[in-house]
Structure 1
Amino acid sequence: MGIINKDAVCQIALVVKDIERTAANYAELFGIEVPQIFSTLPEEESHTQYRGNPTKTRAKLAVIDLGQIVLELTEPDDEPSSWKEFLETNGEGVHHIGFTVSDRVKVIEYFASKGVPIRHYGEYPGGNYTFMDSVKELGVILNIKPGAQS
């Protein structure tokens, strides 16, 4: 088995310019209620870091349950963040794929040994996320989330 279990995918995340419009469009597409839109916590609570430096970034999020995975919509603010950089560089699109792992430190050490640094980190009640700067190696950012899978 690899360093990440292929069955541990839990999230596909898009960066968007207008979360209200995009969430409404997905709700219509799937025939569901428009998902709740909420904001990430302030840096004092989330301990957010971008490229190794603290950042006051906040983002609007909406989550749509698609069964095994969730579709996460993210509208960044103007503070430095992986989301903002992605939007400015690429426009709207897939920002990352998220995986749950049983040993977050082991996975991050694996990526470090391959020259892949942490791009963005933050915390939320009950968990955290770590975006790996894996675009060159994998074509997409990976989000490493602590959980039961490995």
Structure 2
Amino acid sequence: MGILKKEAICQIALVVKDIEQAARHYAELFGVDVPRIFQIPPHEEANTQYRGRPTSTRAKLAVIDLGPLVLELTEPDDEPSSWKEFLETNGEGVHHIGFMTDDREKTIGYFAQKGIPVRHYGEYPGGSYTFVDSGEQLGVILNIKHEPKQGGDPQ
């Protein structure tokens, strides 16, 4: 049995240069309202880490609900981040595929044993995201999302 359940896919994320324009184009494509654009919380709230160091990135995000998963658009700012590195290295494109996990530590440990380190980490109300540097092995970064259940054991 694999470390990730195929049913746990929850997002496809793109890095874009102009989030307002991209959000309009994708909303038109899918026939939905233009999504709200927001910034990730500051480091003090999100404990954002990039390549093992704190970062004050406040990238802009927009999320379009596509049913079983979401399309996430991210416009990086000038602070160090996985998104900024991706845009500078590859241009616009698919940054990561996100999967939900019930056991973040076990999943991150699995990737570490495979030589796939943590690239970027951050928190949001109710959960966390961890990008692992899986591009060389899998052709794309993976996002390991973890949202502990309220009022009980987080695993």
What TM-score does the superposition give when structure 1 sets the normalisation length? 0.97
- Unpaired segments of 5 or more residues in structure 2? 149-155
Match status 1:69 vs 2:107: no
Amino acid at match of 1:123: E
**Quick one: distance in 2 between partners of 1:61 and 1:31?**
19
Deviation at 1:121, TM superposition (A): 0.2
Amino acid at match of 1:29: L
Which structure has the higher relative contact order (CA within 8 Å, separation 6+)? Answer: 1
Deviation at 1:78, TM superposition (A): 0.3
Alignment: residue pair count:
149
In the alignment, which residue of structure 1 is the partner of 2:152?
none
Amino acid at match of 2:115: G
In the alignment, which residue of structure 2 is the partner of 1:135?
135
Task: For residue 27 of structure 2, give the secondary structure of its aligned residue in structure 1.
Answer: helix
- Unpaired segments of 5 or more residues in structure 1? none
Match status 1:21 vs 2:21: yes
In the alignment, which residue of structure 2 is the partner of 1:93?
93
Identity percentage over the alignment? 74
Task: For residue 26 of structure 1, give the secondary structure of its aligned residue in structure 2.
Answer: helix
Runs of 4+ in 1 over 4 A off after TM superposition: none
Deviation at 1:147, TM superposition (A): 4.5
Deviation at 1:133, TM superposition (A): 0.3
Deviation at 1:30, TM superposition (A): 1.1
In the alignment, which residue of structure 1 is the partner of 2:45?
45
What TM-score does the superposition give when structure 2 sets the normalisation length? 0.94
Amino acid at match of 2:34: V
What is the RMSD of the two structures over their aligned residues, measured on CA atoms? Answer: 1.2
Task: For residue 34 of structure 2, give the secondary structure of its aligned residue in structure 1.
Answer: coil
